[in-house]
Amino acid sequence: MARDLNEWDLQILIKLVPELEVLQKKGIEIEYLNILPPVANHHSRSVQEFEQRLKKLSFEDMRYLADQVIEGTESTGCLRPDFAEVFFVVAGQRLGESVADQLREAYESGEGCGG
């Protein structure tokens, strides 16, 4: 589901992809409509790198991001299953297994990529 990113979303995106700040300083603006798909699909070279990026988030940022996924505001539909599972595991470690289960359910029942 595409959306306009708010200030908190953009702060999370910069935490996950600090190199975006360098591009912005050069006058290059990239507009994303979600957080997780571009971090996984465009800025992480591997599942391990994606995991390391996610681990940079504070508890509050992870809680917010998980809530957005569960509510259907943040899309996980374009994540490859291995990247999605890393998100569920990291979120589960920080927020509890019940949250990880809700995220898996949202992923499995959500829209596919581009839908």
Does residue 13 lie within any of the structural domains?
A: yes
Q: Give the count of domains, the chain.
A: 1
d(Cα 54, Cα 29) in Å, to the nearest integer?
A: 22
Q: Tens digit of pLDDT for each residue in 23-60?
A: 778 877 778 889 999 999 999 999 999 999 999 999 99
The boundaries of the domain holding residue 18 are: 7-109
Does residue 33 lie within any of the structural domains?
A: yes
Does residue 99 lie within any of the structural domains?
A: yes
- Whether pLDDT at 2 is above 70: no
Does residue 91 lie within any of the structural domains?
A: yes
d(Cα 44, Cα 87) in Å, to the nearest integer?
A: 13
Between CA 75 and CA 103, with CA 71 as vertex, the angle to 5 degrees is 65
Q: Are 54 and 76 in contact (CB under 8 A)?
A: no
Q: Tens digit of pLDDT for each residue in 50-109?
A: 999 999 999 999 999 999 999 999 989 899 999 999 999 999 999 999 999 999 999 998
Does residue 98 lie within any of the structural domains?
A: yes
Does residue 56 lie within any of the structural domains?
A: yes
Does residue 50 lie within any of the structural domains?
A: yes
Does residue 114 lie within any of the structural domains?
A: no
CA distance to 26, 35, 113, per residue, from 95 (Å): 36, 19, 26
Q: How confident is the model at residue 115, as a pLDDT?
A: 46
